[in-house]
Amino acid sequence: MRVLWVVSIAALLAVAGCSSAERSVSKADAAIDAKVRQKVKEMTLEEKVGQMTQLTLEAFVQSDKDGYLTLDPEKLRNGIVDHHIGSILNCGGQARTPENWQEMIAQMQEVAVKETRLGIPILYGIDSIHGANYVLGATIFPQNIAMAAAGNLALVEKAAEITAMETRAVGIPWNFNPVLDLARQPMWPRVFETFGEDAYMASVMGAAYIRAQQGDDLTRSDKVATCMKHYLGYSVPRSGRDRTPAYIPERELRQHFVKPFAAAVRAGTVTCMVNSSEINGVPVHSSAFYLTELLRGELGFDGFVVSDWADIENLYTREKVAKDRREAVKMAVMAGIDMSMVPYDYSFYDTLIELVRDGEVPMSRIDEAVSGILRVKFKLGLFERPYPNKNLLGYVGQESSRKVNLQAAQEAMTLLKNEAKTLPLARDRKVLVTGPTANLLSVLNGGWTITWQGDNEALYPQEKYTILEAIRAKIGEDNVTYVNSVTFDEEKDIAGAVSAAENVDVIVACIGEPAYCETPGNIDDLTMSEPQLKLVKELAATGKPIVLVLVQGRPRVIRTIVDDAQAILTAYLPGMEGGQAVADVLFGDVNPSGKLPYTYPRFASGFTTYDHKPSENTAENKFNPQWPFGHGLSYTSLSYRALQADKSEMTPGQTVRVTVEVTNTGDVAAKEIVQLYLSDLVASVTPAVRQLKGFRKVDVRPGQTQTVRFELRWDDLAFIGRDNKPIVEPGQFKVSVGELSVMLTVPKPTK
């Protein structure tokens, strides 16, 4: 029997700092708790259940003319005064002007504060997924998957700060983000909302996002409450289709999927949204284990839990674990749901009141839920300042924010192939631009942009560049030919594109996906659509060099055309500045520095992640992705040397400091993401071949050497053992950066 070092769950899940359960209660928090207790004592059952009820903005609409939304005063009073609702969400179908948002929020708060007995303000929530994407004129950043590719924590923090500032400026204090699901099923339509397939990267980036958005004081006019989602295991449906079942062994759940949420709890997130689907046949909305025992008991979460859209209702209409609404509401509330995103009516409110009166849900559970909701409202300062501040409108869409956005898009660009140094292109080259993602803004942004699906091109700001427009602006219209050759679904003029290729020096073929979000983005085949593949094949027959630009929310399989392209650049979903960023990289104004945050599959099945097991890469069973996790080329050459660790042996409580030197041996300035991996060579549970344990992005000028520093902590060596608890076993560990490696030993514990 192997001798083990035992690791506490809190230590294993730690990224930085102590757990929520270990933090001392500040004087400010104690004061808020006292206010909450007093307010709960004053409330009736109806007022408490109302606070647990969240309706969508559409339930209160009077008119929507030319994008300007007005609310019906009587519908508002029915919801806020008669039914005591505590929260409203959503955008009413599309983004609104900052002024329209402030007017609507002020109208809601006027009713809540002045026309209700206790004057409890409304907590308004919205999905500011990649910027304040439902505020017209706001800064719309690259989607999270692109931010992960950029590998720059400072950029994640800055984008989060700007998003919080622009969201709060219009009067909205609650953001349903970050998405902490892991992109380990590439068919899933919400891959682009994640920080990639790796738990460490998602943990670090998610925690940075939360700290930046919430800061140390949620009452500030540039901060918002965050909502970690979708807890838990939502992103790996067996079918690949949204909101369908996942089957995850507990060990794998704890090894991968729990970690980003544990990091978010430690970062201080104050709310949590629940996975719409199920794990191993148990809908998460119905599970006391996931929502109470694990989330609150083990992870120490002390905020409140909100359902996802209509998901309490779905327990009986779709999942069939409850026979009717009454049983579903009881099941969800007793499992740990504090607020129901109903979202259209008062069915949850009426049903829960009946359950409490009939003694099926104890008042103590209601008080617990309401206390969490009120605590967040007090932390946000809504009781003192419920109304939007008109002086903040100028914070939306500032030029300084646009520059950060452009930098984020530029740093996300990932060069996958560059045969014979095809890129960068000279500005005097004659270029054919074609493909369905070449001349649309919607495809650069994807879902959660102006509308839910992000596909209404007419609503996009026309001053922003598509890829085609950015290339024209870069090298002049006379050097650019455009042919609208195919859509995503059908051929239009491939022959015209082939003919036009005769008169150019190079072809830029922009392919990928249309805008989509959630279930409407489900697909049956991960392979790139046939018209797009055919376009590239026929263009390749001309003999002209092809530069493929991939604009897509998930890695679509392009195996059959990879050899036809001399260069391949993936842009992911790079946001409003994405067209400019693509052109900047294509013509050498920016050196690409992104690295793949997922394993890019070669085939449309048999998905394997970078942290696979040894048996998944043998002579008989090759690990053979199109491109590996962490892949990304540069316009310069970079070399690694002098990897060192300050200790060769490690015991509990120790930290190992690792350094490596990175030298730019070329003639182009570069940004390089240096990644550190750890391999446990022998373990009682089959180990991953390697796991990411650190990354740093550094600037390296030509001829310059940068020393990059990492720290490995004891819990970095831990894994979930056979008893589903974290352990560190004595033995050998390999620490690697690039092609370099050093060994680290964990000795057997002494008795």
Coil vs helix vs strand at 452 = coil
Structure tokens at 123: 């907590």
List C-alpha distances in Å: 47 to 51, 55, 374: 6, 15, 12
Q: How far apart are CA 116 and CA 43, in angstroms?
A: 11
For residues 255 and 5, what is the distance between their CA atoms, to the nearest angstrom?
Answer: 17
Residues in the chain: 751
Question: Helix %, strand %, coil % for the chain, to 5?
Answer: 35, 20, 45
Question: Which stretches within 457-549 are classed as H helix?
Answer: 467-475, 494-501, 530-540
Residues 6+ apart with CB under 8 A from 52: 86, 333, 338, 339, 340, 348, 349, 352, 366, 369, 370, 373
Give the separation between CA 129 and CA 175, rounded to whole angstroms: 8
Spatial distance between the Cα atoms of 42 and 36, rounded to a whole number of angstroms = 10
Task: Look at residue 20 in the predicted model and tell me its pLDDT.
Answer: 42
Q: Which domains does the chain have, with CATH numbers?
A: 5-17+40-388 (3.20.20.300), 401-616 (3.40.50.1700), 638-746 (2.60.40.10)
Residue 51: which H helix or E strand, with range? helix 45-51
Stretches where the chain sits below pLDDT 50 are 1-2, 9-23
Residue 175 and residue 213 in contact, taking contact as beta carbons nearer than 8 Å? yes
CA distances from 283 to 255, 276, 286, 322, 344 (A): 20, 8, 5, 11, 22
Query: What is the model's pLDDT at position 19?
Result: 41
CA 707/CA 698 separation, integer angstroms: 9
Output 69-76 pairs: Cβ under 8 A, ≥24 positions apart. 69/96, 69/100, 69/104, 71/104, 71/107, 71/108, 73/107, 73/111, 76/107, 76/108, 76/111
How many alpha carbons lie under 13 Å from residue 668 in its C-beta half-sphere?
18
Peptide bond into 702 cis (omega under 30): no
Residue whose tokens read 């240096």: 674
Q: List the catalytic residue out of 242, 308, 584, 611.
A: 308
Order the strands of the 271-274 sheet from edge to edge. Answer: 304-306, 271-274, 225-231, 174-175, 123-126, 87-89, 53-56, 340-341
Closest CA to 694 of 714, 719, 672, 674: 674
What CA–CA distance (Å, rounded) separates 16 from 5? Answer: 21
Q: Which pTM does this prediction carry?
A: 0.96
Please tell me the predicted confidence (pLDDT) of residue 750.
83
Beta strands 506-512 and 431-434, pairing class: parallel
Pairing label, strands 87-89, 123-126: parallel
pLDDT of residue 24: 54
Active site residue 216: no
Q: What angle do CA 722, 728, 731 make, to 5 degrees?
A: 105
Contact partners, residue 254, CB within 8 Å, separation at least 6: 720, 724, 726
H or E, element range at 147: helix 144-150
